[in-house]
Amino acid sequence: MHSLTFDVIRRSLEEVGSTVALIFVGTVLLEALLYFVLRRIFKSKFTIPFMLLGPAIVGLIALIVYPLLWEFNLSLTNMSLRHFGDKAQYTWVVCQTLDPAKIDSYLTDCLIKNYANVFRLPVLKQAYFFPVFFKTILWTFINVFFHVLGGLGLAILLNRPMRGRGLYRAILILPWAIPQVIAVLAWRGEFHFEYGFMNIILRDLGMQPIKWMTDPTWNFVAMVLVNVWLGIPFMMVILLGGLQSISGEFYEAAEIDGASNFQQFTNITLPLLRPVMTPAIVLGTIWTFNNFNVPFFINQNELESSDILVTALFRAAFQYNRYGFAAAFAFVIFVILLIYSIFYIKITGGLKEVYE
Amino acid sequence: MKKSILGLLSVMVVLSILVSACGSATPETVTVVQTVEKVVTQEVETVVTKEVEKVVTKEVEKVVTKEVEKVAEPVHIVLWTKEGETDGGLQFVQSLAEAYTSIHPNVTFDVVNKDVEALREDFQTAALAGSSPDLLWTVNDHAGPFTAADLIMPVDDLFDLSAYVDSALKAAKLDGKTWGVPISNGNHLMLLYNKSLVATPPETTDDLIAMAADLKAQGITPLVFNQTEPFWMVPWLGGFGGAVFADDGVTPTLDTPAMVNTLAFLHDIKYKEEIIPTESDYDGADTLFKEGKAAMIINGDWSLGGYADLLGKDLGVARIPKVSATGEWPKPYTAGVYFMLPNTLEGAKLDAVVDFVKFATNTNNQALMVAKLNRLPALKTALDDPLISQNELLKGSADQMVVGVPMPTVLEMRCNWDAMKPEMQAVLADTKTPEDAAAAMQSAADNCIKTLE
């Protein structure tokens, strides 16, 4: 093990320092340019706002817009190990070298070949797009359902006077505080057939141990267990905040009217929690849909039955080296989430206040 | 120098004038003049020689200084290795890097450990992003994808490859070029057994099944191995008379009776004979063997060092038992561990990397590897080391190598690995029949090969 010497620190700072210096100098130059162009030449009254937004816009272009365009460009090529880097060609250019008799449709066989392949070829070794897509929906639904159920239950329990409430809350938030990859790898150890905590408990209870890693159903269950454990604290914190904002007067009035606890819950708690719950569910859905760490690391044996869209995408790109195909696959996933988000925002009016 | 020569010339001129002024020259004066001329000439020669020496020395010093400066140019080498900490491999690589730095202080290293598959994936990604490491210490089958993507350079012109064992070189050859400098020879699977639990290793699979009953009665798992990777299945496939490629070396032959029999055999020893554990990945198998809960393990030569440290004289090495049904020995893949050089290397860094590779594979360091890691060396001269002939473990390892077959390096092999893995697991999880799994392997490999183009 190497010790943290002065030389190591100096070298690390040098590596990071040059980037930071570059960003700093770039920002100063950009600000100077904006000031000169807008204030001196155009005499614009929006000089200051543009100067404030300028670095962020450049950052977004460099970190989001450019990679997206690069990715889109990649999705139109045949890039793979045999056609790596500069050797990659656009799919329609490759078509020109093929026998025209072998081309059924110029659109799907040449122009958007990779996009068509996402739906007509296996996205993994055996699994096609739609089975993986429906499994991803099932995975998302089950997880978000238990996140909301568990989070709401714990939030209601914590939202009442009791001794040590702060301590309980801190303990319950712990899974959220642990880096996700570390937590998932620790959990994976607990699903080990011989030495894992889960099977030790089952054996002690006189039950048969479970093949968590090789049985497709149980592997999926293991993934859900871990993700539910990881996701409940977030939902609990959000919903607890929502519960605390509901005035106690509503419940007092309901009690005077003789409403039962269940009636109070369905007629007061749930409706008043909805403004908080809706964005939390949207976020939770997108996060779970795109959750990479849990399905990837718990599925140690790379069972295709446990792969969801994002892990399939990772395997297509980095394990099977189908770079052009994987770029098209990524855009398909992006479009699915975009449609979902637009649909959900329209239905719930989530961004209404922003517009008005 | 000019001043001294001018001074002497002046003396000569003055003397000549004086002599001429004395009228006709007498024989005595001629002799004097000649003597003076001789002395002056000698003096001039001495002074000139000294001055020339001085100038030459200075020039030489300048050139040498420049050369030294060139050699001493700081070079930082990022080395990715597949060696992990558990068997001391990573520590060995680090010790080599440190030893080299102590001799050449201008060359420093970052030794980064990555799992075999992570190393391949990350290197490809890093190369695409233009930030490759400077040197790879990895297995031979990576040469296939790396050469297909044109990421590494051939080493034929950089090293004297005649110094290395032929079998090790063959495993890194593609298209007539050598793509790696061998570090160790083998990287093959073998049967390792705990002598305190098994006095004599089984010769055949029937023997294995016969001796399993006693071991199970004692609560000992008879045999363990990594059930998640097809690398552990391939020897059995060879034992059943199969191979993953046709004779052309690139067409997958996975849906064959040999593969079906192999899968059926693995299924049987798990569910019928109950010789192997219900679930076992690499670490699980390793731990069961190390804890004395498993009598035998099928593992590679890389694990010998770690087991020898733990079990000492109780560790035995033998061939994987002969398949009774065919009378054939299982054929593990043989290859080795190699240095591979990214094709982005040039200038001083390339020189330093080449020099380090020569240093790391010199006779002394190969002997050190044999002693520390119990691996067969790749350098011919190191093979004569008494450490090998007197080492029972290495003798066993070499004996297993005899029945091994070279691991294919072609890119299509990746498709075979990826196709075999889930199907082998499905049979071992009892969720697919061997027939269905073999058919699915074939179709997955064929599909994968189509996507390579």
Domain extents in chain A: 6-75, 85-116, 129-306
For residue B447, list chain A residues with Cβ-Cβ distance below 8 A.
Answer: 121-122, 125
Judged by CB atoms closer than 8 Å, whether chains meet at B128 and A84 is answered as: yes
Q: Kind of pairing, strands B294-300 and B221-224?
A: parallel
Checking if the pLDDT of B48 tops 60, the result is no
pLDDT at B253: 96
For B45, half-sphere exposure in the C-beta direction (CA atoms, 13 angstrom radius) is: 6
The HSE-up count of residue B353 (CA atoms within 13 Å, CB side) is: 28
Confidence of residue B272 (pLDDT cuts 50, 70, 90): very high
Instruction: Find the closest chain B residue to A94 by CA distance.
Output: B453
Residue A103's pLDDT is: 83
Q: Which residue has the higher pLDDT, B372 or B269?
A: B269
Rounded mean pLDDT of B162-179?
Answer: 87
Rounded to whole angstroms, the Cα distance separating B241 from B261 reads 10
Topology of the domain comprising A129-306? MetI-like fold (1.10.3720)
Chain A residues with CB-CB distance to B279 below 8 A: 192-194, 211-214
**Mean pLDDT over residues A10-38, rounded?**
87
B19 confidence band (pLDDT: 50, 70, 90): very low
Give the least confident one: A5-19, A203-217, A279-293, B430-444. Answer: A5-19
Percent of chain A with pLDDT over 90: 48
Across the range B164-169, mean pLDDT stands at: 85
Q: Which residues in chain B are contacts of A220 at CB distance < 8 A?
A: none
Q: Are B278 and A321 an interchain contact pair (Cβ–Cβ within 8 Å)?
A: no
Task: Answer yes or no: is pLDDT of B16 > 50.
Answer: no
Q: Which amino acid is at B294?
A: A
Which tens digit of pLDDT belongs to each residue from A138-148? Answer: 999 999 999 99
pLDDT per position as a tens digit, B412-443: 998 999 899 989 999 998 989 999 999 999 99
Task: Determine the Cα–Cα distance for residues B273 and B213; give it in Å rounded to an integer.
Answer: 9
Q: What is the 3-state secondary structure (H, E, C) of chain B?
A: CHHHHHHHHHHHHHHHHHHHHCCCCCHHHHHHHHHHHHHHHHHHHHHHHHHHHHHHHHHHHHHHHHHHHHHCCCEEEEEEECCCCCCCHHHHHHHHHHHHHHHCCCEEEEEEECCHHHHHHHHHHHHHCCCCCCEEEEEHHHHHHHHHCCCECCCCCCCCHHHECHHHHHCCEECCEECCEEEEEECCEEEEEECCCCCCCCCEHHHHHHHHHHHHHCCCEEEECCCCCHHHCHHHHHHCCCCCECCCCCCECCCCHHHHHHHHHHHHHHHHCCCCCCCCCHHHHHHHHHCCCEEEEEEEHHHHHHHHHHHHHHEEEECCCEECCCCECCCCEEEEEEEECECCCCHHHHHHHHHHHHHHCCHHHHHHHHHHHCCEECEHHHHCCHHHHCCHHHHHHHHHHHCCEECCCCCHHHHHHHHHHHHHHHHHCCCCCHHHHHHHHHHHHHHHHHHHC
Any bridge partners for residue B194, and if so which? B315
- Per DSSP, the three-state class of A208 is coil
pLDDT of B65-79, one tens digit each?
454 445 568 999 999
> Average pLDDT for residues A56-83, to the nearest whole number?
92
- Tell me which of A95-104, A223-232, B146-155 is least confident: A95-104
Look up the pTM and report it. 0.77
Residue A277 pLDDT more than 50? yes
Mean pLDDT of B313-330: 95
What integer pLDDT is reported at residue B442 of this predicted model? Answer: 95
Q: Does residue B348 carry a pLDDT above 70?
A: yes
Least confident piece of the model among A131-135, A197-201, B51-55: B51-55
pLDDT at residue B401, as a whole number: 84
Residue B373 Cα, gap to closest chain A Cα (Å):
19
Tally of residues, chain A: 356
Backbone angles phi, psi at A227, to 5 degrees: -70, -35
Distance of CA B62 to the CA centre of its chain: 39
**Residue A344 banded pLDDT, cuts 50, 70, 90:** confident
The pLDDT confidence band at residue A163, using thresholds 50, 70 and 90, is confident
DSSP letter assigned to residue A265: I
Q: What is the ipTM of this complex?
A: 0.71
Q: What angle do CA A194, A196, A198 make, to 5 degrees?
A: 115
Q: Is the CB of A209 inside 8 Å of chain B's CB atoms?
A: yes
pLDDT top residue among B64 and B260 = B260
Strand bridging mode B107-113 / B75-81: parallel
Per-residue pLDDT averaged across A244-265, rounded? 90
- Check residue B17 and give its pLDDT: 45
**Cβ–Cβ gap A303/B425 under 8 Å:** yes
Q: Within a 13 Å sphere around the CA of B265, how many CA atoms are in the beta-carbon half?
A: 25
Confidence at residue B53, expressed as pLDDT on a 0 to 100 scale: 63
Q: Place A194 in a pLDDT band, splitting at 50, 70 and 90.
A: confident
Task: Give the model's pLDDT for residue B131.
Answer: 87
User: Across the interface, do B431 and A215 touch by the CB < 8 Å criterion?
Assistant: yes
B76 strand-pairing partners: B108
CA B140, B367, B334: angle at the middle one, nearest 5? 25
pLDDT digits (tens, 9 = 90+) for B82-95: 998 877 899 999 99
Taking CB atoms and an 8 Å limit, are B287 and A195 in contact across chains?
yes
Percent share of chain A, pLDDT over 70: 97
**Closest among B65, B68, B69, B75 to B351, alpha carbons compared:** B75
What pLDDT is stored for residue A154 in this prediction?
93
How far is Cα of residue A39 from the mean position of the Cα atoms in its chain? 42
Q: What is the average per-residue pLDDT within B250-271? A: 96
| A-chain residue closest to B130, CA distance | A85
pLDDT for B25: 43
Distance CA B152, CA B144 (A): 10
Neighbours of A28 (CB within 10 A): 11
Q: What is the pLDDT of residue B79?
A: 96
Distance, in Å, from the CA atom of A58 to the CA atom of A54, rounded to the nearest integer, reads 6
- Judged by DSSP in three states, B316 sits in strand
CB-based contact A80 B419, cutoff 8 Å: no
Q: Residues B133, B154: contact at Cβ < 8 Å?
A: no
Asked whether residue A216 carries a pLDDT value surpassing 50, the answer given is yes
Over pLDDT 90: what percentage of chain B?
55
How many angstroms separate the CA atoms of A123 and B437, rounded? 19
B286 CB-contact burial (10 Å; exposed 0-12 / middle 13-18 / buried 19+): buried
B387 or B269: which leads in pLDDT: B269
Q: Which of A108-122, A253-267, B43-57, B179-193 has the weakest average pLDDT? A: B43-57
Q: Are B278 and A211 within 8 A, CB to CB?
A: yes
Give the separation between CA B334 and CA B408, rounded to whole angstroms.
9
Question: Where residue B409 falls among pLDDT bands split at 50, 70, 90?
Answer: confident
Instruction: Count CB pairs under 8 A between chains A and B.
Output: 99
Picking from B121, B419, B447, the nearest residue to A318 by CB comes out as B121
Any CB–CB contact under 8 A between B451 and chain A? yes
pLDDT tens track for A284-323: 988 899 899 999 999 988 888 899 999 999 999 888 888 9
State whether residue A300 sits within 8 Å of chain B by CB: yes
Half-sphere exposure of residue B406: CA atoms within 13 angstroms, side-chain side = 14
Chain B nearest CA to A319, separation (Å): 7
Token code pair at residue B176 = 């007539």
SS3 B133: coil
Has residue A1 got a pLDDT over 80?
no
Does pLDDT of B26 surpass 50?
Answer: no
Comparing A2-6, A157-161, A226-230, which segment has the lowest mean pLDDT?
A2-6
State which amino acid sits at residue B27.
P
Half-sphere exposure in the Cβ direction for B129 (13 Å, CA)? 10
Nearest CA in chain B to A302: B422
Q: Say which amino acid occupies B397.
A: S
